[in-house]
A and B are shown apart, each in its own frame.
Chain A
Amino acid sequence: MKDLLIVSASPHISGRLDISLAMKAVILALLPALMFSVYIFGWRALLVTVITIVSCMISEAIMQRMLGKKITLDDGSAVLTGILLAFNLPPGVPLWLPIVGSVFAIVFAKQLFGGLGYNFINPALAGRAFLMTSWPSFMTKEWLIPTGSTLSGIDSITSATPLTLLKNPANFGPPEVIIQRLNEMATIKNLFIGKVGGCLGETSALLLLIGGLFLIIIGIVDYRIVTGYLVSFGILAFVLPTKANLPFHLFSGGLFLGVFFMATDWVTSPVTKKGRWIFGIGCGVLTAVIRIWGGYPEGVSYSILLMNVFTPLIDRFTKERIFGEKKKGVKL
């Protein structure tokens, strides 16, 4: 008996990009920042990262097993969630905290919604937000002093993140002096390179920028979200009343990590082109508003989470224009 011919739907060729390749590319883009983090914060940074990765993978496998689904650790999404969560933790956290965060991220934010593709908020950010509300003291105090860092003479307090300094300068010394130091060229340079206190993976704007641009060039990250986010945030940080200058705002905190790696998460950002502009701009505006007027020093993760929630709505109102369609036919 001859083998039967295979009948498959067109197209009969397929692009090389698949999910695991995309995840690998993102992980690769994050590696320089991770190595830098180990360099400035020591081996503990790596330890925290390994803990999140391993606990994310274990939670994913157990959940998929329990839900009777195929175990898809090889798609790399759990690893990526682990790295991103670690990047959003202070490097000095007690080691049980990353485990709790990972379990929450995978179990509650991802698998209970149906797994990859069905989660409407970014699991890593959800994990961080959960830890932030449950153990705020660990999440805002356990900063490590970066090796060889100098924030222009305020060395003794560098374990506070630059944004905390900006928010509450009086807690750390004479406010005018601190604000002035923050705006100095040397500070900006350290911020850009990443020799400052902060979450594990967010400090080096430079390396995150390189990784992000790499992802844009190979077409995995959408430039619309990135541009919308950076430009709208930049404009607001420039015009709104704040004591720091624009480069300070751009390079400090988790902005670049958020812009390139969290806001652009495929699953939780809109699929339409116009929607991605709106999403990016929304993130930028919210981040600026939280940073400048809000109670927290940092606004990136909450802004992105908030916009994640709006994503389905944005998609619905920004349907693509069908070829030859006269006016936008938004029918709901």
Chain B
Amino acid sequence: MSRSDLSIAIQSSENSAFLMSHGNVDYLRKMIILNSMLKGFLGGIHLLENKFTENLAIEVMPAPKRVYIPLSQHAGKSAKPVVQKDDFVKIGTKIGESEGFISASVHASISGKVLDIKQHPHPVLASAECCIIESDETEDWAAGMKEKHDYENLPKEELLSIIKDAGIVGLGGAAFPTHVKLSPPPDKPIEYLLINGCECEPRLTADHRLMLEYPIGIIEGAKLFQQILDTKHLIFCIEDNKKEAAKIFINENEEVRVLKTKYPQGAEKQLIKAVLNRTVPRGGLPMDVGCVVQNVGTCYAAFQAVKFRKPLIDRVVTVTGDGVKESKNLLIRIGTSAIDVVNFCGGFVDQPKRIIFGGPMMGISQYAEDVPIIKGTSGILVSKEVSSYEEGPCVRCGCCVDVCPMGLMPTEIYKLVKNKKFLKSKDYGVLDCIECGCCAYGCPSKIPLVHYLKYGKNEVWRLSKK
């Protein structure tokens, strides 16, 4: 929209002060960078950030009594269980082996006894097979872990297999297995590795805190990715509501791009457009334009995996909302149930009305309190008050069309989906929707557009499988 374009233009002069990077960036490239920033990405919205927890240091939540570790926490195939009921496991013991290439291993996050492997509420899949482990409170680590390893001279295949073995997936939310992203086909050379520190969802501050408190680990992890991908450029992309974090990376002599805060900046395609002014083709992947995007949390996890052989067994989660006594940024073991986390934060304020895993824009509301934290969980939002809206008629205001960062026409698509014209909705690009929620956020008739679009997507997939 015009106003946002304008504000980007104004902001960019300020941004140029942040364009410092290491000395070898020549003037010309700086100009190109500046130019690309003027463009930004089209659509998107400005949200109230409400990042109340940004000044709270990350606390370590002690291991819970019991964890529920889903075997599927990632995009792709579910892992195959490699432990059985009544087996004893230690922290870091592999309990699920990745099946096929697009899959990820799963590890025990506490030491103790496997109580059962059975269906349990899952934050994304509603219900899925989970390995339930009861703690023996010894906190023993599996062999070979927590020791420092030299990794500078490891060949790239070795690094990749360590990352794969550690079950590293994208921690930004989509949980795409990292080793897959790091193995582009040889005909797609990667020029740019973008490290995504945008955290554009309101309220979430997990990535922000990680950048403030563990920048060196993130940088090391990013360098590992750079080594594996053999890219020339490594750029840290941070929104201007996190200038402190940006400064740290600039002081470490890394190339940093400070972006005007706008939702959904952290979406891969929008980020690439905003930073490099490259447009990922429709239906394509970032590697089609020579880019790979990795989240800061993923970098940190990969660094720990390579340096300490520590698999992905915990992650930083922002716990906030008016329904929880104390808001916190917590380092939580994977598989910890939401109720345990809330209790660690002082408990519920009142009878909770809604628990969301993720941010307010793209998060998923949960139906059970014992649903576990998984690798892709970036936040837990508890509300004691929920305003509900009644869906009105579409008044064709065009707000949704204006804000859609993917250039879709949500108003047309939702009508097609509602009338079950799924194939036509595919022509209108239902599959291109990134479910960012901008359209539904601004809709004056409060139509749950994302709900219709998701439904349409599923139906299109189902029809095309037939």
Contacts and interface: CB of A to CB of B under 8 A. Distances in A.
Report whether over half of chain B's contact residues are helix, strand or loop; otherwise say mixed: loop
B401 A11 contact: no
B289 to A, nearest CB: 9
Nearest to B42: A323
Interface in A1-49: 2-15, 17-19, 21-22
**Which size class do B's interface residues fall under?**
35 or more
A331 B367 CA distance: 41
A223 B2 contact: yes
A7 B395 contact: no
B398 A322 contact: no
Nearest to A6: B354
A323 B360 contact: no
Nearest to B1: A219
B200 interface: no
B448 A9 contact: yes
B442 interface: yes
Interface stretch (B13-21, B185-193, B248-256, B277-285): B277-285
Contacts of B405: 323
A266 B354 contact: no
B408 A13 contact: no
A117 interface: yes
Interface in A306-322: 315, 319-322
B446 A18 contact: yes
Interface in B361-408: 361-369, 381, 386-389, 392-399, 401-402, 404-408
Contacts of B351: 2-3
A177 to B, nearest CB: 46
A319 to B, nearest CB: 7
A324 B281 contact: yes
A9 B360 CA distance: 10
Interface stretch (A93-101, A152-160, A268-276): A268-276
A322 B432 contact: yes
Contacts of B354: 5-8, 12
A47 B451 CA distance: 46
Contacts of A315: 412
B428 interface: yes
A319 B409 contact: yes
B411 interface: yes
B147 interface: no
A214 to B, nearest CB: 15
Interface in A111-133: 115-118
Contacts of B355: 5
A290 B109 CA distance: 76
18 contacts: A5-B365, A5-B367, A6-B388, A7-B367, A9-B450, A9-B454, A10-B440, A12-B354, A12-B363, A14-B440, A14-B441, A18-B392, A22-B397, A117-B395, A117-B445, A267-B396, A324-B280, A324-B432
Interface of B: 2-3, 42, 45, 47, 202, 269, 273, 279-284, 351-356, 358, 360-369, 381, 386-389, 392-399, 401-402, 404-409, 411-412, 427-429, 432, 435, 437, 440-446, 448, 450-451, 454
Given A5-B352, A19-B392, A118-B393, 17 more contacts: A2-B351, A5-B367, A7-B366, A8-B365, A10-B363, A12-B356, A15-B443, A19-B444, A117-B394, A272-B398, A272-B401, A272-B409, A315-B412, A324-B281, A324-B282, A324-B432, A325-B281
